[in-house]
Amino acid sequence: MIQILAEVILPVFLVVGVGYGATRAGIFTPTDINGIMKLTQTVAIPCLLFRAISTLDLSTSFNPFLLFSYFSAAALCFAIGLIGARLIFRRSWEDSVVIGFCCLFSNMVLLGLPITERAYGTDSLSSYYAIVSLHSPFCFLLGVTAMEIVRNRGKGGMTMIGSTMVSLLKNPLVMSIGLGFIFNFVNVSLPGAIDDAMALIALAGLPAALFTLGGVLVQYRPEGDLNVIAFVVAISLLGLPALVWVFGTALSLPAETFRIAVLNGSMAPGFNAYLFANMYGHAKRVAATSVLLATCLSLFTVWFWLSLLG
């Protein structure tokens, strides 16, 4: 167990810690961090995702039982978070949707990818890419639809869904995934020089993204409703992976895909959880603090899940 912590998890979180420390010390300003984050999210990681999905063996990677296990568990956690926030904590419907979204959206790119690669090697990533290719579209479609329903209750219609879906499709991560599928389907390869250039850019993506994740966390403050935050953290770090485990076991997933699904379900809420809260102006403190606290605690909970998965 100590070996897992030292060799797989600690290097990832040390990079996050360096980013946090450098920003806290003033070596990097929030503007610097935002610039690097923009580079990683709009160029480097899209290059990585495009290259991976364009060469993915779709016939073997897209196991329907794998996708059902993960996304059924994620949808159930969204429902638990939403209903719990409304009935237990008496939050508004809008706040409740945001809280449900925080329980739903795992940080599969900035944390899940490097930890998965270090834990199980690059050959294991085909199942990871199958999940991540649908992750953002699924989560945002569910979250936006629920928010528009509660925002327009009594009025009829969902007037903002179209524009929000257009914004989603303009997201560089979603665009790179979509282009990757197109190139895969038509069996077209990029010229060697362009592919090599994209490979070089992609190499910078994960370490830079982890560094900026630490820098972004400096901007958060541990505040808000601590009971709700604890509820979100518990569902994100324990409830979601446990449900994936149950569904995956019931569907007899192969061991290599089973552990990828459970491991990525155990990641802390992603930064998009805060962006979703900020977009609608509800439960922003809960979302920000949940991301911060869950990211810190996931050092230990990911260790726990990796130890169980072997």
Cα→Cα distances 254→243, 249, 301, Å:
16, 9, 23
Report residues of the chain scoring pLDDT below 70. 1-7, 60, 153-168, 221-224
pTM equals: 0.80
β-pair partners for 269 = 106
Number of domains in the chain: 1
- Residue 170's pLDDT is 72
pLDDT in tens, 184-205: 889 888 888 999 999 999 888 8
Q: How many residues comprise the chain?
A: 310
Q: Give the C-alpha separation, 111 to 95, whole Å.
A: 26
3-state secondary structure of 269: strand
Domain that holds residue 39: 2-309
CA nearest to 171, candidates 203, 219, 139: 139
Provide the CATH number for the domain around residue 267: 1.20.1530.20
Which phi and psi (to 5°) does residue 91 adopt? -80, 160
Cα→Cα distances 110→7, 113, 211, 268, Å:
18, 6, 10, 10
Q: The tokens 């569902």 sit on which residue?
A: 235
Q: Give the C-alpha separation, 90 to 70, whole Å.
A: 29
Contact yes or no for 210/12 (Cβ under 8 A): yes
Q: Give the C-alpha separation, 267 to 271, whole Å.
A: 12
pLDDT in tens, 87-144: 999 999 999 999 999 999 999 988 898 899 888 988 778 889 889 888 888 888 888 8
Report which residue type is found at 123.
D
**Residue 245 buriedness (CB in 10 A; 0-12 / 13-18 / 19+):** buried
Contact yes or no for 37/205 (Cβ under 8 A): no
> Which residues, at least 6 apart from 59, have a Cβ–Cβ distance to it below 8 Å?
none
